[in-house]
A and B are shown apart, each in its own frame.
Chain A
């Protein structure tokens, strides 16, 4: 056993040695920011890589012509901030002309020129390359370079969001490097391993499955970032992401609630603080209005608007928000997230009223004739299934609470937790009664057309909701020449009245961040894209400040 204890002793010594060698230089830490994402940015090239991970990194590498103002209102042209375009002017109701910033350079030193913008726009408008972008840009009819420093964008019709369409959907790519590469080869080209952009950060390296490293571009025309080195880590497991933060391996993590318990764990770490930002997320129980087996027929229960209204009336949505998100979420009126600008007017969702809901159902012939606690009509019991993706703990929690609230009404609900791709496949096929959906909205309310208009049926409108009045209102809002807010109010009120879904939650995102960062701006459409404007307060200064206090 002497040998045994000897081996154990060596193991202990080796372990102690390994444990004791984790110090990192403080001067490195001050100038560096480490943020954690849920998706790996494996291909952060616009129109090639997809997903939020790629988007976050590509937003730091590749600039647009202009950015929306902090209110994220695509119609508010005065709030747009110059990026690659120094100025722009409306030539006529169909043409916008942009003058490029002469100091803008690609990270390889070449100037950003009008031909780069045209090449990028044409690429984005090609449905074979970027089907989703091409649809968003369908009102753009032509993009032309005027010399090296100006670009004119022409539209099919006059409308308020022309500037938004011309600037927000397309990040400008270096045409001088990419024009010779076939679109299908870009993902494997050397450019994909070391992209060259024009943003305030340049590419350093990607360590697969671990992190992407970016470095600040000194003397960038937008200003020199104080965060000189940016490390973007990825971890798909939410617990691992949070552990990286608590273990001092990361400085920032967005969307830490739910679960609410994370706030208590975070509170024990004095180096971190929380920042609240409205999000573009909205969650709802979607009612399938078409029959599961035959989409040409209405759903035998949910096809009745009065039943849907009763189901909404019986839900205590405030209680659901409180249980899952605490005070960080509110009940939306219609499909309107907190950051969507048309939600600015304060409206209140209808309060819970189970008795009124019962009366509404009774008027439609639903009552508990056999005394089993479940309402029935013509031999059919009021039983429905609610589908949720098994990966979402929050939606599982919501489903269980809603199940209990509806039980009190006399509705029997079975919760079906499905593998995420199965959940999506069944939604797309219309094979569900109800599901808990979560949508990340575009900043433009025109995105509502996909899920809440007759035109969206067959696409994202899987519940089969169709009200021609909504379609007509959205068309009016799209081409309005004046403030479209009253029209959007009408759209939202009409959708709310038709009860295609029980709109449950519109959360604000809680971001945890190290205290050494100040003047922090987080943008709901691209969380970390304004990091180049943050101020860094070194450890020494913060310690001195704390001592003074």
Chain B
């Protein structure tokens, strides 16, 4: 196991380094002025623009910029954001909790509801419940999340006034007790988490249903039933354990949601996460901030896949065979 972990770990580090360099180069080849937000709509002279370019080091040749960036990154310093003026590392650290909360809630909803509904469908295959859930899943999958977000914010947040239509907390309650504040965050979380997870729940449901139906046909499930085990035990202790592998792969792919959320969902609900920060960075060509957020996403994709592989390794003995 140690050898396997070491090999996969080295692969992950090499991939991350290659992706970082690629990101830097691609970003610098993308057209656009990184000073756009600073100088747009403000009269500036050529000399002032040149001084700003010098300040942010973007007047240097690309090779020198890359070297300086990598040296800084090695020390944990990704430089200051052009737009915000503050260190990129600080900005990312400030936004991470909100992203983890929204992404975690969406993943939790996705995994629990998606898996459970998929199992219900497989168990009740061909019934009206299965057919209804199939139609609902397709509808959810086909529904653009930006449209759903806008509709929910308008209807639930503004027309019915049931839940806040935007933001993460009510600043009026800043001095209130921890329980009131926690409930306040929870109220703000409902609409973006539902919007973000609807599509992924539909996907998970479909994967889970198909995987479980295939497992139901296997001999060991038939044997378990023949031994007189309860249907609940057959499903959850025997069949589902095998049928969960495709969901593990899926989860590995969904993990970047933890930090990026859905860029659009964060914008519509003004959720203060990294997705919104990354969008603003890309929209303003804020090079240091783009690199910081994309490097984090890359790291999570790589780690997510590594975790999925590790899950397979631990749960499936066939993977461990040389």
Binding site for B on A (CB under 8 A): 1, 4, 7, 15, 18-19, 21-22, 24-25, 28-29, 32, 34, 40, 42-43, 48-51, 54, 127-128, 131-132, 135, 187-188, 192, 205, 207-211, 213, 231, 233, 235-237, 239-241, 243-244, 246-249, 391, 419-425, 428, 438-440, 442, 447, 449-451, 456, 458-460
Dominant secondary structure at the B interface: helix
What are 8 A-B pairs at a CB distance below 8 A?
Answer: A28-B172, A51-B37, A135-B45, A243-B154, A249-B167, A421-B33, A421-B285, A424-B40
**Which of B18-26, B47-55, B207-215, B310-318 touches A?**
B47-55
Q: Which of B222-230, B251-259, B267-275 lies at the interface?
A: B267-275
Contact between chains at A50 and B171 (CB < 8 Å)? no
**Cβ contacts B68-101/A at 8 Å (1 or 0 each):** 0000000000001001111100110011001000
Interface contact B33-A428, CB-CB below 8 Å: yes
What are the 8 tightest A-B residue pairs by CB atom distance, in nearest-first order? A209-B272, A450-B43, A421-B32, A208-B94, A131-B51, A424-B36, A235-B270, A240-B270
CA distance A539 to B103 in the complex (A): 39
Chain A residues within 8 Å of B94, by CB: 208-209
Known: A15-B190, A51-B37, A247-B157. A42 touches B85 (CB 8 A): yes
Stretch at the interface among B197-205, B276-284, B301-309: B276-284
Are A51 and B157 touching (Cβ within 8 A)?
Answer: no
Given contacts A131-B52, A231-B171, contact A451 B270 (CB under 8 A): no
Do residues B268 and A240 form an inter-chain contact, with CB atoms below 8 A? yes
Q: Are B85 and A246 in contact (CB under 8 A)?
A: no
A96: min CB distance to chain B, Å = 25
| Contacting pair A420 B171 (CB below 8 A) | no
User: In the bound complex, do residue A459 and residue B167 qualify as a contact, i.e. CB atoms below 8 Å apart?
Assistant: no
B47, B55, B80, B172: which has the most chain A beta carbons within 10 Å? Answer: B172
Interface pair B280/A236, CB less than 8 Å apart: yes
Chain A proximity of B79: nearest CB distance (Å): 11
Q: Which of A243, A246, A451, A459 contacts B48 (CB 8 A)?
A: A459
A128 to B48, CA, bound (A): 10
A239 to B187, CA, bound (A): 20
Check A24 against B43 for contact (C-beta < 8 Å). no
Measured CB to CB, the closest approach of chain B to A432, in angstroms, equals: 13
User: Is B239 an interface position by the 8 A CB rule?
Assistant: no
A422:B43 contact, CB within 8 angstroms: no
CA distance A391 to B37 in the complex (A): 13
Besides A18-B187, A460-B45, 6 other A-B contacts (C-beta < 8 A): A22-B163, A29-B172, A131-B47, A209-B168, A421-B31, A459-B48
B237 CB–A CB distance under 8 Å: no
A261 to B31, alpha carbons, bound, how many Å?
34
In the complex, the answer to whether A187 meets B86 with C-beta atoms within 8 Å is: yes
Instruction: Tell me the B residues contacting A by CB distance below 8 Å.
Output: 31-49, 51-52, 55, 80, 83-87, 90-91, 94-95, 98, 116, 120, 129, 150, 153-154, 157-158, 161-174, 180, 183-184, 186-187, 190, 267-270, 272-273, 276-277, 279-280, 283-285
A442 CA to B187 CA, complexed, in Å: 43
Q: Which residues of B contact A209 (CB under 8 A)?
A: 94-95, 98, 168, 272-273, 276-277
Residue numbers in B under 8 Å from A1 (CB-CB): 129
**Within 8 Å CB of A208, what residues of B?**
91, 94-95, 272
* Cross-interface CB contact of B272 among A210, A422, A439, cutoff 8 Å: A210
> Closest CB of chain B to A57's CB: distance in Å?
13
B115 to chain A, nearest CB (A): 12
Contact A247–B270 (Cβ < 8 Å)? no
Chain B hits for A424, CB < 8 A: 32-33, 35-36, 39-40
Query: Which A residues touch B154, using CB under 8 A?
Result: 243
Chain A nearest CB from B276 CB (Å) reads 7
- Is A22 touching B86 in the complex (CB atoms < 8 A)? no
Contacting residues, chain B, for A447 (C-beta < 8 A)? 43
Cα A374 to Cα B178 in complex, Å, equals 68
Contacts A43-B84, A135-B48, A459-B44; is A421 near B166 (CB within 8 Å)?
A: no
Contact: B45 with A249, CB < 8 Å? no
Indicate whether A233 sits within 8 Å of B183 (C-beta atoms), given known contacts A4-B120, A243-B157, A460-B43: no
Question: Which of B44, B51, B80, B129 contacts A127, CB < 8 Å?
Answer: B51
A51 engages B83 (CB within 8 Å): yes
Q: Are B85 and A425 in contact, with the CB atoms below 8 A?
A: no
B residues near A237, Cβ cutoff 8 Å: 267-268, 270
Residues of B within 8 A of A24 (CB): 170, 172-173
Indicate if the CB atoms of B187 and A21 lie closer than 8 Å: yes
- Shortest B280–chain A CB gap in Å is 6
Partner of B283, one of A40, A192, A249, A419: A419
Are B267 and A240 within 8 A (Cβ)? yes
- The reply to whether A246 and B165 form a contact with Cβ atoms under 8 Å apart is yes
Cα–Cα, bound, A403→B290 (Å): 36
Write the chain A residue with the least CB distance to B157.
A247
Across the interface, which residues of A come within 8 angstroms of B166, CB to CB? 235, 240, 243-244, 247, 249
Contacts of A51 in B (CB 8 A): 37-38, 83
Tell whether, in the assembled complex, residue A48 and residue B85 are in contact, meaning their CB atoms are under 8 Å apart. Answer: yes
Note all chain A residues with C-beta closer than 8 A to B46: 458-459
Complex CA gap A237/B45 in Å reads 30
Q: What CA separation (Å) do A211 and B94 show in the bound complex? A: 13
Tell me which residues across on chain B come within 8 A of A28, comparing CB atoms.
Answer: 172
Asked whether, in the complex, the Cβ of B42 is within 8 Å of the Cβ of A440, the reply is yes
Are the CB atoms of A456 and B43 closer together than 8 Å? yes
On whether A43 and B36 interact (CB within 8 A), knowing A34-B172, A209-B273, the answer reads: no
Say whether A132 contacts B32, CB under 8 Å.
Answer: no
Shortest C-beta distance, A264 to chain B (Å), equals 13
Distance in Å: Cβ of B166 to nearest Cβ of chain A: 5
Which chain B residues lie closer than 8 Å to A456 at the CB level?
43, 45
Q: Which residues of B contact A213 (CB under 8 A)?
A: 171, 174
Chain B positions within 8 Å of A48 at CB level: 85
B284 touches A420 (CB 8 A): yes
CA distance A97 to B42 in the complex (A): 30
Q: How far is the CA of A187 from the CA of B295 in the complex (A)?
A: 23
Contact partner of A187 among B31, B85, B162, B171, CB < 8 A?
A: B85
Contact B87 A187 (CB under 8 A): yes
Shortest CB–CB separation between residue A127 and chain B, in angstroms? 6
* Complex interface: chain A residues within 8 A of B87 (CB): 187-188
